[in-house]
A and B are shown apart, each in its own frame.
Chain A
């Protein structure tokens, strides 16, 4: 069981965004999709979410073919995309409203996730009053409150400053260990991938193809500067340098 991406290709007119990508993610796993800008990693995530349709190939979640969007796959965008007219609580309850869950139950669930992402006390704030890090916490809570099987995250910390970003990575791992979700996380930061992932899928620049799938067998909590991490970093940076040179030639 889990996610299975099988020979997926996506083209936009003449442009091949991703080509013949296949991989699997097992339940409870934290996998990072890593690649240079424009390698189609966000495109791949949108295909799995069902926001776009693949040109070729198929995607399965728990053996079932993905045909469109569904509440079984939560999505966290880099831009947070919080509804500005809703408070923190009502943003988090959006998916529950969609599924027509009764008000008291909605309250109970939203409070649980508000506490999980450390936003107690900010329930009635509107997004514009929150810092960038807090906004992304709300977006994560909103996706989790819907109880998806799979959490898709598209460079969620890309817009945060370095300090906040580190804190949010640690927070995400804590949340992940509590919520017990499968996570597929897109990033272009090698350090971020090594800090977070059980496995890293390295994609080539356009058209995006898988060039390596690398296990990260380092116990958590991880040090960002251990010898093991450095070894993996040097190896992956070497792969990516080849890719970037390819583009510039």
Chain B
């Protein structure tokens, strides 16, 4: 008698496919190194990656001296600062816009004018604006770019979330005696929460991509984007470049998964 595939064999085969995928990727990468002269092999990159974690890059004083995780952590802190400020503005603004039709038209018009400008296009202006803050100009500009990148997805998703709260919940709350402020707090906020978290997740992702690019512009020493760019400038540090790219990928993946985890805990009714 044939049995239906059990849950465990299905998981095992999924894992097998995933392992196969990684194997084929590494194989293709290895074969590509024969065609592309500058590309370091997977094994060499892995050794460099481990070395960067243990003691950082060697050579040029001033550009080296930080381990890979120190560079990464510096970038994560900047992204959290920029995105944090972005969310602190975007979420209340989005709630107001979703709540009031007139405010939506008012603020929405400004947002639609600014939104098509790529966050990186703000960099030169940000340098000029933050020029008075000597010593932190570059870092402030980078944080500002993250702010711009994280702001728009957060505000738009929040507006959408507030708008999509079914009107009947508001009617029910009113018949139970709720005031506007109570409806906002007890109906609109929980109803819009899933969209708000989605906005935060996308905003963090966009902010992270903007930061890495921003770090490659303007002279700075610490930060994962700066690290990659400085390794490129030094020359002959291709395994270091790829190691930095891998670190970016890991952080981006971890942030996305982290927010999804938080969402599953907060939104249990979905």
Q: Please list the residues of chain A having a beta carbon within 8 angstroms of any beta carbon in chain B.
A: 49-51, 69-71, 73-75, 77, 79, 81, 83-85, 94-95, 97-99, 126-128, 142-143, 146, 152
Contacts and interface: CB of A to CB of B under 8 A. Distances in A.
B169 interface: yes
26 contacts: A50-B175, A69-B174, A73-B175, A74-B175, A74-B176, A75-B175, A77-B171, A81-B166, A81-B171, A83-B169, A83-B190, A85-B190, A85-B267, A85-B269, A94-B176, A95-B176, A95-B177, A97-B186, A98-B173, A98-B182, A99-B177, A126-B269, A127-B269, A143-B176, A146-B176, A146-B177
A128 B268 CA distance: 11
B224 interface: no
A128 B269 CA distance: 8
Contacts of A79: 168
User: Which of A77, A79, A85, A143 has the most CB atoms of chain B within a 10 A radius of its CB?
Assistant: A85
Given A97-B186, A128-B269, A81 B169 contact: yes
A98 B182 CA distance: 7
A85 B191 contact: yes
B269 A51 contact: no
B93 interface: no
B187 interface: yes
Contacts of B176: 71, 74, 94-95, 98, 142-143, 146
Nearest to B172: A81
B39 interface: no
Contacts of A51: 171, 174-175
A129 to B, nearest CB: 10
A127 B172 CA distance: 15
Mostly, the B contact residues are helix
Contacts, number: 60
Interface in B172-194: 172-178, 182, 186-187, 190-191, 193
B178 A98 contact: yes
Contacts of A85: 190-191, 193, 267, 269
Contacts of A75: 171-172, 175
Contacts of B166: 81
A77 B168 contact: yes
Contacts of A69: 174-175, 177
B267 to A, nearest CB: 8
A75 B172 CA distance: 7
A71 B177 contact: yes
Contacts of A77: 168, 171-172
Contacts of B193: 85
Given A77-B168, A83-B169, A126-B269, 13 more contacts: A51-B174, A51-B175, A81-B168, A84-B269, A85-B190, A85-B191, A85-B193, A95-B176, A98-B177, A98-B178, A99-B177, A142-B176, A146-B177
